[in-house]
Structure 1
Amino acid sequence: MTRSSIFLLVTFTSYAILSKILFDYIYSAANLIVDEEFHLPLGEQYCKFHFNTWDPKVTTLPGLYLVSSALLGPFGLCSIYWLRSISLLFSCINLLLFYVLFSRTVQNEWQKVSLAIMMNLLPPLYFMSHIYYTDIVSLTTVLIFIILNERGQHYFASLAGFFSIICRQTNVIFVAIYGGKYVLKGLYDSWVQKTDPFKKAGDFPIKNVKPFLLDILGNPFKILQNTTIHFWLNSLCYLSLLVFFLVFLIVNGGIVVGDRNAHHISINIPQLFYFSLFCLIFGWPHFLGEVLNFVTFAKNHKVFILIFTFIAFVIVHFNTVVHPYLLADNRHLIFYVWSRFYGKYWWFRYAIIPVYVFSLYVLFKILWNPRDVSFFILFTVGVTLLLVSQSLLELRYFLLPYIIIRVKTKNVDTAVFNMVLEFVTYSVMNMITFNIFFTKTLYWTDMDYPQRIIW
């Protein structure tokens, strides 16, 4: 074994052991944690192979419960402890998947392992690794989907994409992003071959976007006739998933399967601002180095910055959506952020707009690649649709988009220094949030047991 392989094994083992110790502490401290009161009873029923039960308060499809049934049901391990262990198990799997994912963009073996453990320790994500929520299993399916998609194994990727949708319906956005990128690049390749048969297409540069769109809209058959059966068979894998999801929407009458009054589609543009702030807080080492660049950009583009800031001001003023759950559920940290800042001081939501502008600038720089804009276009549109349609401000919605952006982040010169800062930041935040969880209790009149504060 190489030293890097030993480092990966030691890291994985240490993560599993330490997380298991923390897992046991959490289990002994709390019987039910927030929405586990809905997930655990269903998980137990599915674990016992009772598939005809459902709770109308649950909004997602039963992917988590099916996994519990497959892994725990045959052994009769249907207690709270074992159901929660599903998240811990898949958290360990995610560590290996992150390693594989970073292997495509990072050459240094030590950095691959460090980045993998870093992403698994992302505080909101790491906390979910110890409770029975859909987030961890959902993340596993999406990571598998992305890895298979990027390796060109589109049939198996579509299977992973299907199960990711079964775990959480909104994962269809990521299926559409990565599947759409394959289709877009395939059509672009055909267009390039039509215009110049001896030229290899490769990337999708910004300079070719306009002529490509005009050509494919004006005369699509000439481009389509250059495509191959292999391309269409692969594309059909992704298109069939989108058709399946469309049928589900029609039959179900919406995207959520329960509690529709509290989870309806809305137009909530400030979600993009909150997401940019989330990225800034958890990825601040990578944002810090862009401060001077942003100042220079702002000086050179004063009119653009002023117009964008004014538009953001108008959006915040007229489109700030405050979901009833945000004001009522004091078991989430975001409740205290809102009640002590956004809700308490009317001016705060306006004063923080320059921070949004800076954060969005950095995110644009991370994602923008003029030599290949295919991913930028699809990711920006997809994540915008995902976030803007959510009326509830929930940090868990930001996890997958942030993880994908973090994988795309390239700071080779300062990578080690930034990783150290990230590790310290995540460690401190995890210690603080777990300390709050263990030491602070709340009492709800309609609950027989104390409530605790989580992400």
Structure 2
Amino acid sequence: MSDIAQETIRYAAFAAFNILVAKEVNTVVNEPYMDEPFHIPQAQAYCRGEWDSWDPKITTPPGLYLLSVILKKIFLFKCTIGTLRLTNILLLSFFPPLISSLQAKLRRIDAPQSWLEPTLESIVISAFPITWFFAFLYYTETGSVFFVLACLLAALHQKHWLAALLGLISCTFRQTNIVWVFYALGLSLLKTLHLRRVGHSKHLHDPVVVDAKIEDFAKSVMSLPRAILPLLPFIIPYALLALVFTVFVVWNGGIVLGDKSNHIPQMHIPQLFYFVGFCTALGFPVLIGGPGGLIHLVKAIVSLIAGTWRRLLLYVTFCVLTGTIIHFFTIHHPFLLSDNRHYTFYVWNRLYRRHSLVPYILSPVYVTCYYAWFIRLYYPPSMTLNDEQPVHSKQIVHRSEKSLLEALLLPICLLPTLLPTPLLEPRYFLIPWLLLRLQIDPPQIRSFESLHWSLLGEGVWNAVINWGTMYVFLYKYRPGVGRFMW
């Protein structure tokens, strides 16, 4: 059987399995659950043509409901609970080809010839636990992620008016997606500038991240205005989108659409630490899956932490700073403390609050996880980490040729999306995780028989978490308590 046929069969199996799971979810959970009692009646009101109806407790714009109405017009179905949930199942089925196209563009390789032939890696990524779980409920996450990724793909193809339109649609699912629209713009501009650089005539100062020094940060930022001047026409669609978004915020009196009392922004710097912990816990097969595996990763971490006294001092400084931030900025949100139907309740109450010292003990864990991801993204296994033997860009393999500004773009975009959010909620980490995952180098796969162990581990880990979460959600219902879920 050809590789193309195998890819199509795997894709069909993925879609068919999701339909079977969706059928079981609709059979067992036949009434709106958790946030669905807000979303489903609102969508049904729009299906009846009641466009002036709006539930003031809904905090997001009506993108999900409008999409369901469009699908109702196309497929002529009634807006029942099951058919409304089908909106997200349809979107999930498009994730693998969308991710395949994105990875091909980012890696500068040929995209699959057909959308029916997505890569196995893209299917594994589409089965990421939070992405996969919420596709079976009538939540905004699936549409939010889909249109952000579609916006990024259009921007990378230099179709900026289309990208801005897709970005606008993504904001109708979740307002904070405006940040990821500008991530798409920033990444596409950097890719364009890198392609246009010739010899030493370039205006942009953007060295390979592993070669960058402290002074390069300022030089890179200062070189940006002059470098992007020829690309200003690309920015016009996004500027119009920013204007529309600003008008909305002014009109609405804030970014949250409704129920503002429970969504008051608060400075929550530890969210950045929770994010790196989340990435490590759910993505550890990816983290240890680089060339050289776990052994290389551990050696590289030790070298980066304690290779010299200066590095050790820097590591200790980061740990102390992290502990200080935890002390002054940790927020014990009342939803997190009271709702035992989510993973975060047990992580917080049985780990984080087990002893007053636990948050501070976790400080070096967060910093070490950050080091691990930095190494996974930017250091090939052959790269020396000794200060006495600096590595130059010509020694760096393809996956490590990421520039300084490209490396800074995602962390910068994390700040406005995570810092103002007082609630620890894994769904907030979904888009940045996927954007991080897209930066990971591809495993070497020539056929299913030579499946790379890291991709196999990622797929198995996703499947185990998905099976466990969905099984408990469906079959371990406790009256008076509810269903356990993300």
Q: TM-score, normalised by structure 2?
A: 0.83
Deviations 1:193-228 (A, max 9, x none): 9xx8x8356883266654454467xxx7xx48x944
Residue matched to 1:179:
185
Partners of 1:145 and 1:161 within 8 A in 2: yes
Residue matched to 2:6:
7
- For residues 42 and 109 of structure 2, the distance between their equivalents in structure 1, rounded to whole angstroms, comes to 43
Residue matched to 2:129:
123
- For residues 235 and 366 of structure 1, the distance between their equivalents in structure 2, rounded to whole angstroms, comes to 32
Residues 246, 362 of structure 1: CA spacing in aligned structure 2 closer, same or farther, 3 A cutoff? farther
> SS at the partner of 2:422?
coil
- For residues 372 and 58 of structure 2, the distance between their equivalents in structure 1, rounded to whole angstroms, comes to 36
Q: Higher helix fraction: Structure 1 or Structure 2?
A: 1
- For residues 292 and 384 of structure 1, the distance between their equivalents in structure 2, rounded to whole angstroms, comes to 30
- For residues 70 and 203 of structure 1, the distance between their equivalents in structure 2, rounded to whole angstroms, comes to 46
Structure 1 letter corresponding to 2:258: G
Q: How does 1:47-446 map to 2 (within 5 A)?
A: 47-73=47-73, 75-104=76-105, 105=107, 113-183=119-189, 199=201, 204-205=206-207, 210-211=218-219, 213-214=221-222, 223=226, 227-228=229-230, 231-288=231-288, 289=294, 290-300=297-307, 301-366=311-376, 372-410=403-441, 412=443, 416-444=452-480
Partners of 2:286 and 2:458 within 8 A in 1: no
Root mean square deviation, CA, Å: 2.8
> SS at the partner of 2:260?
coil
- For residues 401 and 460 of structure 2, the distance between their equivalents in structure 1, rounded to whole angstroms, comes to 34
C-alpha displacement of 1:185? 6.8
C-alpha displacement of 1:47? 2.2
Q: Percent identity?
A: 29
Structure 2 letter corresponding to 1:205: P
C-alpha displacement of 1:154? 0.9
> SS at the partner of 2:238?
helix
Structure 1 letter corresponding to 2:15: A
Partners of 1:125 and 1:399 within 8 A in 2: yes
Gaps of 5+ in 1: 445-449
Gaps of 5+ in 2: 289-293, 379-399, 446-450
> SS at the partner of 1:50?
coil
Deviations 1:363-413 (A, max 9, x none): 334555676222222221111221111111000011110011111012646
- For residues 346 and 296 of structure 1, the distance between their equivalents in structure 2, rounded to whole angstroms, comes to 31
- For residues 64 and 250 of structure 2, the distance between their equivalents in structure 1, rounded to whole angstroms, comes to 23
Q: TM-score, normalised by structure 1?
A: 0.88
Residues 296, 69 of structure 1: CA spacing in aligned structure 2 closer, same or farther, 3 A cutoff? same
Partners of 1:162 and 1:241 within 8 A in 2: yes
> SS at the partner of 1:167?
coil
Deviations 1:138-158 (A, max 9, x none): 111111111111111111111
Residues 156, 350 of structure 1: CA spacing in aligned structure 2 closer, same or farther, 3 A cutoff? same
Residues 420, 203 of structure 1: CA spacing in aligned structure 2 closer, same or farther, 3 A cutoff? farther
